[in-house]
Copies of this chain bind each other. A is one copy, B any other.
Amino acid sequence: MNLIKKWKQISAVQFLLSVMLVGLVSCNEDSSTNTNSDAQSQHPSLILTQQGVKDIRANLGSIPIFDKTLAANKVEIDAEIENGFDVPIPKDYSGGYTHATHKRNYILMQKAGVLYQILDDEKYAKFVKDMLFQYAKMYPTLPIHPKPRSYARGKLFWQCLNDSNWLVYTSQAYDCIYDYLSEEERTTLETDLFKPYADFISKENPQFFNRVHNHSTWGNVAVGMIALAMEDDSLLQTALYGLKDVNLDASLKDNDGGFINQDDQKIGYFANLDEPFSPDGYYTEGPYYQRYAMYPFLIFAQALQNKKPDLKVLEYKEGVLLKGVNALLNLSDADGDFFLLNDAQKGMSYYNSSLISAVDIAYHFGGNNPELLSIAEKQDEVTLDDAGLAVAIGIKEGKTKPFVKKSIELSDGANGDEGAVGILRSGDLELVHKYTAHGLSHGHYDKLSFALFEDGKEVVQDYGMARYVNVEQKGGGNYLKENTTWAKQSIAHNTLVQNEQSHFQGKYDIGSKHHSESYIFSVNTDSVQVSSAKEENAYPGTKLHRTMVSIKETDLENPYVLDIMRVESSTENQYDLPFYYLGQVIQTSFDYSKSDVPQILGSANGYQHLYNEAISVADGANAKLTWLLDNKFYSYTAVTSHNDEIILARIGANDPAFNLRSEPTMIIRKRNTKEAVFVAAIESHGTYNPVSELAVNAYSHIKDVQLSYNDSNYTAVTIEDTKGGVQLFIIANNDNSKTKKHTLTINSTSHFWEGPYTLIKIK
């Protein structure tokens, strides 16, 4: 634990350094463009500055990644100008034509605005202007969007969220062509379009605007960006600090079931920085939404930095925005795909455009961390602004260093004391252990769950969300009902389920009051890394304690994961521990009988979506499952008790529209039990080559796993491998002091160690 603190101290020092650097940068900028209000009222001044434009123009042709992005944007926008544009009457949900077109339009305007500044060619300004005037003509005529599903319906789009997206981008375009427009033109646009637009998403939709939620962030930033572009200070105050004197019904909920009006509701941009971000930069909804939220947070921060440097927004909460970029990059697998935590669609990655701007802004305003350049190189694109220029020059000058992702614990909660995500990295394996707070309305009921990745491929999966974003045929591209009935439920995750009920009864108002507790996160040696956490509220009267250990033994090729889930309850319960392996069953150590026809596993709480395909009654020996995924062999070796049931199940029951993926799981079930310890080892041990048809190390290297000791104070597990090695892992269950000395006698042998756990090589 000291190490963690040390790490945090180092981070703090780094942060102070970076603040100083930011200060220097700010000073430089102050001296050149931003010293007086005149300078600050120049345009462009949001993401581009006048000095930045000069520098870009001076460097063009000699900054490959920037030149390439610019050329690609030019080709795209030139073609669009050629083709003409459409500003259709709003009609569709996401995925439909009018939705997609308005979304395209704001991106095109933003890009065209930037091209105008950089290339100084009026055709780009004209394109933006023409489109803006079409919007200005249509907007005053628009009723509320006809699609009724949102708690905050927009005008251009079915929800204010998308209206806000539009304004965030369009403000940048407006800033870029500000000087190209006549004063009269500006007045028309501001009067007919921007001001009423900003009012609509704020004053007319306080239930959307006045929250701590990614929706509100977009709303706040939309208003803030246009306020900066129009230099409307009153509007800027609304953006930064929320709408004052609004009373909302305390029982209001959003479409995801999240409460809109909390006690002591904090509001505005800064409030949205305070609450969902932990001091480590983890955003409580998880990386999928953090990715989405980072764009408005950072783009506005960049604009504020340029236009209102005195606010020192990037220093806010000890530089939480810049830490957020670091956290987000660490929440991705080897391919840059984000880990699945809470509602999240698979395949979202740091190649998303919002991460391109996040990385560039973090580099430019965050002390020029050369590791960020390696991410930018992979992204192979930069933002066409001052930040992107800085990155392009950094890369050109050969400053790039690899971004090394290490094991890391990222705290959750505004103060960092509401659980955490623990990520253990060893070899090609990345294990994500979730013991966070609920994650607002996008949270899933999966305390102490985990997922395992190998080399960028998910091996033991988190299902993610039940949604096909922007695929109109699937529920308009919105959340599907199976997101609630399946994806959010505990049984859909790799965690313990008691009596076929989800954690917190699957109720947001209960779940959002609690969080798990980090118990140990210790990653100082590569040979043994531990992430251990407790959850005592998911089921009243029941205590859960899960310890996940990554062990790298010298005589085994790959590291393996040891999973110890302890449960103690005052009553007898049924405990299910699912294991969502992905791939094809190769072999099991246990006999099972496969049903002729699969039965539905249960009636509610997600169980109604599982087919029971085969069942086995354990004999007390290890239950081993070997499976093949993407030409790799994996094994799960679980300790069982006599009469444990092993259920081989598959997702897909009660799924009338084939919304769910047909994927397997293995569930270990203990009935009528008060206390239990589920122990298992998870390995990646072999490979298959379909071209040479060679299977290498197709068999598990774990010979035996045993629970050697368990009481309220200590739990010990013995792992024997096929090379003859024997290891004993002991954890102290109630004392995580790094300096406490322990003694434990197991089978007449006494073991001594210091700190909350030990791994002893017996053979």
Contacts and interface: CB of A to CB of B under 8 A. Distances in A.
A469 interface: yes
B471 A349 contact: no
B472 A695 contact: yes
B691 A351 contact: yes
Given A473-B626, A473-B698, A662-B650, A594 B655 contact: yes
Contacts of A352: 691-692
Contacts of A657: 585, 594
Given A596-B654, A597-B598, A698-B95, A353 B472 contact: no
Contact of A600 (B474, B477, B597): B597
A170 to B, nearest CB: 19
Given A472-B698, A691-B349, A598 B596 contact: no
Nearest to A599: B597
A620 to B, nearest CB: 23
A688 B345 CA distance: 13
A39 interface: no
A587 interface: yes
Given A690-B348, A691-B349, A473 B586 contact: yes
A346 interface: yes
A471 B690 CA distance: 11
A352 B689 CA distance: 10
Contacts of A345: 690, 693
Contacts of A470: 693-695
Contacts of A654: 596
Contacts of A100: 694
Contacts of A598: 597-598, 611
A688 B347 CA distance: 11
A656 interface: yes
A415 B613 CA distance: 50
A653 interface: yes
Contacts of A650: 662
A584 interface: yes
Given A347-B691, A351-B691, A596 B600 contact: yes
**Interface range for A:** 35 or more
A658 interface: yes
A625 to B, nearest CB: 10
Contacts of A133: none
A244 interface: no
Contacts of A694: 100, 470
Nearest to A349: B691
A507 interface: no
Nearest to A469: B693
Given A468-B586, A471-B698, A586-B468, A594 B691 contact: no
A656 B593 CA distance: 7
A751 interface: no
A54 interface: no
A661 interface: yes
Contacts of A95: 695, 698
A613 B611 CA distance: 12
A624 B107 CA distance: 34
Nearest to A650: B662
A98 B95 CA distance: 57
Contact of A662 (B348, B662, B688): B662
B346 A690 contact: yes
A95 B661 CA distance: 32
Nearest to A631: B347
Contacts of A611: 597-598
Contacts of A349: 690-691
Given A654-B596, A656-B594, A587 B473 contact: yes
Interface string A537-557: 000000000000000000000
Contacts of A692: 352-353
Contacts of A474: 586-587
Given A598-B597, A690-B348, A584 B661 contact: yes
Nearest to A586: B473
A598 B650 CA distance: 12
A160 B543 CA distance: 61
A596 B692 CA distance: 43
Contacts of A600: 596-597
Interface string A607-634: 0000101100000000000101001000
Contacts of A652: 613
A659 to B, nearest CB: 9
A597 B348 CA distance: 34
Interface string A372-409: 00000000000000000000000000000000000000
A688 B348 contact: no
Chain B CB within 10 Å, residue with most, of A352, A586, A693: A693
A465 B468 CA distance: 33
Contacts of A655: 594
B471 A586 contact: yes
A649 to B, nearest CB: 12
Contacts of A471: 586, 628, 688, 695, 698
Contacts of A594: 655-658
Contacts of A661: 584
A692 B628 CA distance: 31
Interface in A106-157: none
Given A594-B655, A598-B598, A347 B698 contact: no
B690 A585 contact: no
Contacts of A468: 586, 628
Interface in A697-753: 698-699
Nearest to A292: B693
Interface in A646-703: 648, 650, 652-658, 661-662, 664, 688, 690-695, 698-699
A699 B100 CA distance: 14
A428 to B, nearest CB: 21
A597 B596 contact: no
A616 to B, nearest CB: 12
A410 to B, nearest CB: 22
A755 to B, nearest CB: 40
A650 B600 CA distance: 16
Chain B CB within 10 Å, residue with most, of A468, A472, A631, A650: A468
A652 B663 CA distance: 13
A596 B653 contact: yes
7 contacts: A349-B690, A352-B692, A469-B693, A471-B695, A472-B695, A473-B699, A597-B611
The 5 closest A-B pairs by CB, nearest first: A347-B690, A585-B658, A473-B587, A469-B693, A594-B656
Interface of A: 95, 100, 345-349, 351-353, 468-474, 477, 584-587, 593-594, 596-600, 611, 613-614, 626, 628, 631, 648, 650, 652-658, 661-662, 664, 688, 690-695, 698-699
Given A345-B690, A473-B586, 12 more contacts: A95-B695, A470-B693, A473-B626, A473-B698, A594-B656, A596-B654, A597-B597, A597-B599, A597-B611, A598-B611, A613-B652, A662-B662
